Amino acid sequence: MPHEAGIQNGFCGAVGNTPLIRIGWLSEVTGCEILGKAEFLNPGGSIKDRAALG
């Protein structure tokens, strides 16, 4: 069966690659590019996913 885009074979395959979100106003104030990790987009919505994998 072909593997569909975005579908993982298991939970561990979905952990990681957390999206980064540019924080524009803070970047402008500091003169640096400031990024935040969107941990709420982890499978299950938990920030503990990565620690449990390691």
Tokens of 45: 């919505």
Catalytic: which of 22, 37, 48, 50? 48
The helix (H) or strand (E) run that includes residue 36 is: strand 35-37
Cβ count within 10 A of residue 24 = 10
- Is 37 one of the catalytic residues? no
Residue for token pair 């924080």: 23
Residues assigned a catalytic role: 48
